[in-house]
Structure 1
């Protein structure tokens, strides 16, 4: 009996030292939980003003800058386009700057200035929603173009009588008594994120020029086409996003269809396109206008091209990086890039076979550039206008102290044949620029050039 007790005690002691099995699924789950995903659905929720954070501690400021630094260091896809940027050195240089800030908006201003060095339109910093809405997300609904070195009214996006004195072609001279270029230099460019020169121009004049704090009054000095100087004052308000239709269609002289697509944000774009397609089929030529399309999901653009050709066509080439720390330890390649290319096979029963033109500009961006790239590779028609913004890819969102959000571009795209357009823009086949004289005389010279082109194509057939 004594021997049996000793044996059982020995076996029991062995069980105490039994080693666990590696649960690979649990291990992977644990690792993924270390990298949380930003829930974009919660970003738009209102914040109770009583719980708004006004100041960050020194530790939180350092954490915020460090987060922007390391998210870019390991995830940014385009460091090769900015070889002069020494990211680690910049991080050290910005540490005292961020520590010296007081109010949370000062802190986020420094974060935006740090991020700006990456020169990428998909890589940006957004302040906490409450502060962003109060200080940055308020507009006067007048959009401008830089034409011949002047700041020219291009569109008034409101039917409110308060804007009735503002007409297309007016030249803006001063904002709050300050010359426009000086105002841009002081108020906009220090925190602007952009990819190319034309991207910065598009952002400044179309999106940023009249932004400011909620309910603030801005005084604008204009010169009319007749040379008269006038001053108008407006109050900045939150933008009503419902006034913008993503798809519009009309018939131009010569039975030419003019399809304007201002967004590829969701399936609604494709649904609206399909509603117009029976009318498009009856036209003698089609002009697709994506000059103000800021992007969305490239899938919907490819669906539309699938109605313009029966032949397979090629979306962008994609490069995605994977980091392998063990390879780095072994002296191998820590970063391994995976190239993805594929063809899109149209499946729609009806196909539009008449001449097609796509209009592009510096505001043609992201998924709209993917659309333009695929259209060009499909050899279905020509691109007319000016170079696109030069930024596409997949932004990764991450949280920052105090409730802000950062984004970093994680995917590199090029045309299927390898032609680069990130940091450059997609070049038009026929370059046409707006002129001040043309705009003031009510002309759209880019659209006119497209009409001339399709007329020539019809005469050839």
Structure 2
């Protein structure tokens, strides 16, 4: 009995204390973080003294062969030791009044990673304390209107999707761009570390090209940023296709409502009419299609993602599709045609005025059309109105500051900006000077200022709304905006894979966010199915009522 007990004890001890074999996901996730950290923190790497991509390709086979924590840590330790000495380097002396933003900065993983030996963690901590302080070879803030720029990345003109090394490199590059330089990482739905682990398998070991392409797209959508999306030409094939119906749709209550006709003649062939309610596409409900597309359509909030979904769900590579639709309370099913973009020959847009006078002495301004040279004459013509409705639902021209000179009695603060601190990647700095608009003007506009917003109000449109909010008598009317205010940075991850994200932080003067939240309407009104069918602009109608005095 004693022998059996002893044997069981030995077996149990070996089981408990045996080194657990690491998974490929565990090793690659940690390697991604170490590789990016060294890229921006290690003096020999951040200064551009070595081919950092080549270093990754050389260490990956060693990582793959490592089975235990000890073996894995040893590979990384030897790798770091081979990079050269890290001299003691005091951090740059900054103005003591500098206002730091550190919600995105978290290097605890260098000290608390279960896969790292104590010695490895100490090496990473030493590099943090003595990090590179010069001009980083791979990133700078010298880009002008979009300051953030990723630099000196090898393009790799020949990138077959079957090349595992380049797939991993693409993932590692993008993940670390976001980790250290995306200002709104802290408001994403999913923890960025968890997103890395989740997306690894379809990138390092995809079952098909489609899996890899959609995984790269999905990763960028996890930023919850209307500016953020990775694009590849073949993604169109898998997300929808390169043929389109001769109409446009808007998603309302999980139904697709036809709101425009791209070509009147082609729409007539298929008997497509504005106001038709599409409930199914090729046998799937619109709600089911929206759920699938949700992983691949960019948007800081659900409302912001809907316009793209309403377009993509009708696209495809076949010449037709089947829809179930409702017209005049009757459900019907039919096939409609798809066309290449060149064959649609889109009808010219209707010519509408840049601004006009509505009933009851109310001015209306289409901000998407008013140019700088128009502002003086426009404001002169509208100065005696009881209200001006500024329609900010489509991307406006760059006239908001000039118009605000007429709306404000004095300069007003609009926004506070946040930018990357390259001396400590992952940390950000609040700009001391705030953006302002307006000027000293005793003859400023005294009527109501009404601003129309919606899902099509994003980026510069949201900044325009923020500027108008500084006027003494402003009311915002409409629905949730896109929630992506700040410079949109377009960049190439690797040959054939372009991406983007909001690269600078824009906040209200009190540091309140607009990212994801958008510009909150004072009066909320959304388009309805009935309104579209009756040809109404319900948001504008509500604004006119408010201008007349209705609350």
Question: Scaled by the length of structure 2, what TM-score is found?
Answer: 0.63
Distance 1:435 1:160 in 2: 23
Following superposition, the deviation at residue 420 of structure 1 comes to 2.3
Which residue of the partner structure matches residue 122 of structure 1?
A: 227
Distance 2:356 2:253 in 1: 30
Which residue of the partner structure matches residue 277 of structure 2?
A: 171
Out of 353, 356, 371, the residue aligned to residue 449 of structure 2 is 356
Following superposition, the deviation at residue 81 of structure 1 comes to 0.9
Which residue of the partner structure matches residue 286 of structure 1?
A: 388
Which residue of the partner structure matches residue 338 of structure 2?
A: 235
Q: Residue 167 of structure 2 contacts residue 203 of structure 2 at CA under 8 Å; is this kept in 1? A: yes
Following superposition, the deviation at residue 383 of structure 1 comes to 0.7
Following superposition, the deviation at residue 273 of structure 1 comes to 5.2
Structure 2: stretches of 5+ with no match in the other structure: 1-131, 144-156
91-100 or 345-354: which moved more? 345-354
419-428 or 393-402: which moved more? 393-402
Q: How does 1:16-415 map to 2 (within 5 A)?
A: 31-32=136-137, 55-82=161-188, 85-101=190-206, 106-128=211-233, 132=236, 139-140=244-245, 142-153=247-258, 155-164=259-268, 165-186=271-292, 188-205=293-310, 207-213=311-317, 216-229=319-332, 231-238=334-341, 243=348, 248-262=354-368, 269-271=371-373, 276-277=378-379, 279-281=381-383, 283-291=385-393, 293-294=394-395, 299-325=398-424, 335-339=427-431, 340-346=433-439, 352-415=445-508
SS of the equivalent of 2:412 reads coil
Q: Residue 262 of structure 2 contacts residue 346 of structure 2 at CA under 8 Å; is this kept in 1? A: no
Cα gap change, 1:71 to 1:355, in 2 (>3 Å): same
Which residue of the partner structure matches residue 92 of structure 2?
A: none
Note the alpha carbon deviations across 1:303-358, whole angstroms, 9 max, x for none: 33333334323222211121324xx9xxxxx7241234132234899865433211
- Structure of higher RCO (CA pairs closer than 8 Å, 6+ residues apart): 1
Which residue of the partner structure matches residue 430 of structure 1?
A: 523
Following superposition, the deviation at residue 226 of structure 1 comes to 3.9
Q: Residue 321 of structure 1 contacts residue 338 of structure 1 at CA under 8 Å; is this kept in 2? A: no
Cα gap change, 1:383 to 1:241, in 2 (>3 Å): farther
Structure 1: stretches of 5+ with no match in the other structure: 1-26, 39-50, 329-333
Cα gap change, 1:294 to 1:105, in 2 (>3 Å): farther
156-165 or 312-321: which moved more? 156-165
Distance 1:453 1:172 in 2: 33
Distance 1:189 1:157 in 2: 25
Distance 1:235 1:37 in 2: 45
Following superposition, the deviation at residue 225 of structure 1 comes to 3.1
Q: Residue 362 of structure 1 contacts residue 389 of structure 1 at CA under 8 Å; is this kept in 2? A: yes
Which residue of the partner structure matches residue 47 of structure 2?
A: none
Which residue of the partner structure matches residue 24 of structure 1?
A: none
Q: Residue 105 of structure 1 contacts residue 127 of structure 1 at CA under 8 Å; is this kept in 2? A: no
SS of the equivalent of 2:165 reads helix
Which residue of the partner structure matches residue 44 of structure 2?
A: none
Cα gap change, 1:137 to 1:373, in 2 (>3 Å): farther
Q: Residue 415 of structure 2 contacts residue 436 of structure 2 at CA under 8 Å; is this kept in 1? A: no
Distance 1:421 1:111 in 2: 26
SS of the equivalent of 2:436 reads coil
Distance 2:140 2:346 in 1: 32
Following superposition, the deviation at residue 428 of structure 1 comes to 0.8
Distance 2:140 2:435 in 1: 30
Q: Residue 174 of structure 1 contacts residue 220 of structure 1 at CA under 8 Å; is this kept in 2? A: yes
Following superposition, the deviation at residue 406 of structure 1 comes to 1.7
Q: Residue 387 of structure 1 contacts residue 427 of structure 1 at CA under 8 Å; is this kept in 2? A: yes
Q: Residue 69 of structure 1 contacts residue 91 of structure 1 at CA under 8 Å; is this kept in 2? A: yes
Following superposition, the deviation at residue 371 of structure 1 comes to 1.0
Q: Residue 484 of structure 2 contacts residue 514 of structure 2 at CA under 8 Å; is this kept in 1? A: yes
Distance 1:400 1:195 in 2: 21
Which residue of the partner structure matches residue 21 of structure 1?
A: none
Following superposition, the deviation at residue 243 of structure 1 comes to 4.8
Q: Residue 408 of structure 2 contacts residue 472 of structure 2 at CA under 8 Å; is this kept in 1? A: no
Q: Residue 317 of structure 1 contacts residue 413 of structure 1 at CA under 8 Å; is this kept in 2? A: yes
Note the alpha carbon deviations across 1:59-100, whole angstroms, 9 max, x for none: 111111111111111111012213x63423432442321123
Cα gap change, 1:147 to 1:87, in 2 (>3 Å): closer
Distance 2:163 2:470 in 1: 52
Supply the RMSD in Å over aligned alpha carbons. 3.8
Note the alpha carbon deviations across 1:406-450, whole angstroms, 9 max, x for none: 213221212223332212122111112233333323332221111
Cα gap change, 1:139 to 1:375, in 2 (>3 Å): farther
